[in-house]
Amino acid sequence: MAVAGAAAVAGVVGWRLLGSTYRADIETICDAEARSGFALSHDVSELTPWVSAHLATPEGNAFYSSVSDARVEDRARRLNDEAVASRVAPCPMVGSYVKLAADARYRRDLQRVCSSATLPGLADLDDSARVRAIGRSIDADANDARTRELAERLRQAAVPADRAKLLRDTALAMDVFTCDVASALDRPGMAPAPP
């Protein structure tokens, strides 16, 4: 009986090893969010070990490590290239990496917009000059379309408190927890210079 049990285990292990291919590992990476229930955007600390535990070949592990270590902007391209080469389609994780890179660009934009170092002396300006200064800064430096849309929404806000709330809420939604520029918008501005 023990011999039969050992033979069954050996058969399962042998079948698993024979069925383990690099292509299957690429499929695992591509479908990791759906298979694991974890989202790259919110659960990366759970998703990464899940993927690693479900890769069966050394090559698959090495590739996944190289993607994880790559710059955020390069991950989607690298995975897409490997999925195409391995004839794995579709690869939903490519879209998740694209979104992750876009969110990183947007977050950097918001950090720049929120920094008092970007707009020194903003609190000393009148309200309309503040809005123009923020808009010019965004127009010159924004890397994400959402940042340019934010500039337009700030211009359209009726009162300074609405602009401050909009900027603060937008920053918080992207995990930017300090927004000196929103605080400056909350302060009473100087009276506009006479014509």
Q: For the chain, which residues make up each domain, given as ranges?
A: 2-90, 105-186
pLDDT value of residue 19: 60
Is the preceding peptide bond at 192 cis, omega within 30 degrees of 0?
no
Task: Please enumerate in sequence order all residues whose Cβ is within 8 A of that of 157, keeping only pairs 6 or more positions apart, or say none.
Answer: 163, 166
Is the pLDDT reported for residue 167 higher than 80? yes
Q: Within 10 Å of residue 82's Cβ, how many Cβ atoms? A: 23
Average pLDDT over the chain, rounded to an integer: 89
175 DSSP 8-state letter: T
pTM above the 0.95 mark?
no
